[in-house]
Amino acid sequence: MTMNRRDLLKTSLAAGLFLPGISGLAYGDDSPNERVNVALIGLGGQGGHQVGGLRSQNVVALCDCDDSRAGNVYGKFPNAKKFYDYRKMFDEMSNQFDAVAVSTPDHTHFHPSWIAMSLNKHLYLEKPMA
């Protein structure tokens, strides 16, 4: 069978229109197993900016000592349990999350990060290098 230029263009166009629809059906929505349960520590300042990237995950715990700085983040995750002390959060819920994002001021990163690592949690932490 020989294919002329017109047939090649028709076939290519049809495949180009058809294949994206197939891949969209194949992927569908994320299953609950593909979402990570996350706890957030430090919700004001930089922590408030980082929550946008976590909307696709399952945020189960929020911790900040200042409601005035964390208030708008609370509204984005109404089902997450709220804490003022990260130690209580780890005590009560460490078996309910897989990862922790620590966004506290630089001089306070160590303690919550150390606890998260000692509990074998995945850790997201921004730390200045210089």
> How confident is the model over 62-84, as pLDDT tens digits?
999 988 888 788 888 899 999 99
**Does residue 9 form part of some domain?**
no
In a domain, 11, yes or no: no
Q: What percent of the chain has pLDDT over 70?
A: 78
Is the residue at 83 inside a domain? yes
Within-domain flag for 10: no
Domain that holds residue 77: 32-125
Can you tell me the distance from the alpha carbon of 87 to that of 81, in angstroms, rounded to the nearest whole number? Answer: 14
Domain membership flag for residue 65: yes
Which pLDDT belongs to residue 27? 54
Q: Has residue 13 been placed in a domain?
A: no
* Burial class (CB within 10 angstroms; exposed 0-12, middle 13-18, buried 19+) of 75: exposed
The 3-state DSSP class for residue 107 equals helix
> How much is the mean pLDDT over the chain?
81
Choose the weakest-confidence range: 44-48, 52-56, 59-63, 121-125.
44-48
In this predicted structure, what is the pLDDT of residue 8?
A: 63
The total number of structural domains that make up the chain: 1
Angle value at C-alpha 110, between 98 and 83, nearest 5 degrees? 55
| Nearest of 108, 33, 101, 34 to residue 62 by alpha carbon | 101
| CATH number for the domain that contains residue 84 | 3.40.50.720
Mean pLDDT for the stretch of residues 5-11: 67
Angle made by CA atoms 67, 72, 78, in degrees to the nearest 5? 95
